[in-house]
Amino acid sequence: MPAFDKGYLFQHKPTANYPADGLSVFDPSGRLMYQVDITAPDGSAGHLLVTSADAANADGKVLLPISYGGWGGNGHVKGGGVVVLSPEGKQVRFVATGRFLPQAACFGPDDSIWVMGTQYAPLREGDSMDHVERGYYNLVRKFSSDGKPLGSFLPRSLFPKGLSPAASLGWMRASKNRIGMMTRPGQSSNNPEWVELDLDGNLVGRWKVGAATEADPDTHRIVYQLLGFAFTSDGQLYAQRKACATAAKCTNQAVMLDRETSSWKPVEGTQTDQVRFLMGADGNDLVFYDRSPDNAGGGVHLSWLRPAQPR
């Protein structure tokens, strides 16, 4: 699945059993800007995460969180960091994070670099597995545009024991005055929690947003899903909600987070039975990827929508 940010589309290079180490980037007109393979500081392939972890700024610079020497906490990861690509696709900077393995990144409004991730313990000789740090650490780090550390924020201790809140399907975006991230705390990654920081790293708020997926208890068929998120410039969080009455009858609708009630409110005029996926935001517009059968084999079709405010 491709990802979208600030008008730019990212598509990772298909691989068999290994994480992707290359990607294609398309500009706001749909033109292929470049295809590039990512190289880690030691010369090995840089292992990319899910495309939703990648980000761009309005000038076309791209952030790619990577690990190298291993992946997914297995195989003795040498280190992690964020690759910065120029608008021409050149690797112009590597922001090293060591054993703090990034799960998502984004540019702040001032082009600062924000990273969410998981701290891993030092390598243990003879141990085939990497281990998450059980002590104190912060989930978010901030760097200047030229890679200098500016601070770390959001203590791991604020979240319950279990999965690392930043370790599953990382997603991080900026509005004009906040940094937002979707975390997956607790014993299950099915209970996402939206977290916002101000631009100084102070915690603004946390909102439990309900199950990401629900299934019929008898048939185990998926009846409800959140299929994508968008954080607009004016600071609103949107999601795409898919509801299925039967396996063949599903509807999709954009919903907006009501922070007062920590619940999703439908956005007028967005309910459809078309197969589409909410890719993200472009300013205050929502951007959808049309996956209907009519578009099979026809490339990636995107549509823009300025959402009405829910009643």
Q: How far lies 132's CA from each of 14, 64, 165, 202, in Å?
A: 28, 22, 12, 25
Which residues partner with 156 through β-bridges?
none
Same domain (yes/no): 230, 86? no
Burial class (CB in 10 A: 0-12, 13-18, 19+), 85: buried
Do residue 130 and residue 265 come from a single domain?
A: no
Count up the domains in the chain and report the number. 2
Burial class (CB in 10 A: 0-12, 13-18, 19+), 243: middle
Q: What is the pLDDT of residues 223-233, one digit of tens each?
A: 888 888 999 99
d(CA 278, CA 270): 11
The pLDDT of residue 71: 59
**Is pLDDT of 16 > 80?**
no
Identify any residues that bridge with 83 across adjacent strands, giving them in sequence order.
Answer: 64, 94
The band of 236, judged by pLDDT with boundaries at 50, 70 and 90, is very high
Residue 123 binned pLDDT confidence (cut-offs 50, 70, 90): confident
> What is the pLDDT, as a whole number, of residue 206?
96
Residue where one domain finishes, among candidates 178, 208, 238: 208
Structural domain range at position 68: 1-208
Q: Could you tell me if 271 and 194 lie in one domain?
A: no
User: Do 253 and 157 share a structural domain?
Assistant: no
User: Does 189 share its domain with 249?
Assistant: no
Query: Closest Cα partner for 303 from 84, 283, 92, 285?
Result: 285
Domain shared by 139 and 238, yes or no: no
pLDDT, tens only, 57-98: 999 999 999 988 865 545 578 889 999 999 999 999 999 999
What DSSP string runs through 241-304?
A: EEEEEETTEEEEEEEEEETTTTEEEEPTT--BSS-EEEEEEETTEEEEEE--GGGTTS--EEEE
Q: What is the pLDDT of residues 190-215, one digit of tens each?
A: 889 999 999 999 999 999 998 888 88
| 198 and 221 housed in the same domain | no
Residue 127's pLDDT band (cuts 50, 70, 90): low
Please check the confidence at residue 126 and state whether its pLDDT lies above 80.
no
pLDDT band at 141 (very low <50, low <70, confident <90, very high): very high
Please name the residues in contact with 112: beta carbons below 8 A apart, sequence gap of 6 or more.
142, 143, 144, 145, 150, 199
- pLDDT 10s digits, 104-120: 999 999 999 999 999 98
Q: According to the model, what pLDDT value does residue 294 have?
A: 59
Residues 116 and 128 in one domain: yes
pLDDT value of position 140: 97
Same-domain status, 184 and 223: no
Place of tokens 């063949």: 248
- What is the Cα–Cα distance from 34 to 90, expressed in whole angstroms? 9
Domain limit, last residue, from 164, 186, 208: 208
163 and 230 share one domain: no
This prediction has a pTM of 0.91
- 17 with 129, same domain: the answer is yes
Q: What is the pLDDT at residue 136?
A: 85
Same domain, 200 and 231: no
Reported as a pLDDT band with limits 50, 70 and 90, residue 291 is low
Domain end call among 146, 179, 208: 208
Q: What is the pLDDT of residue 240?
A: 92
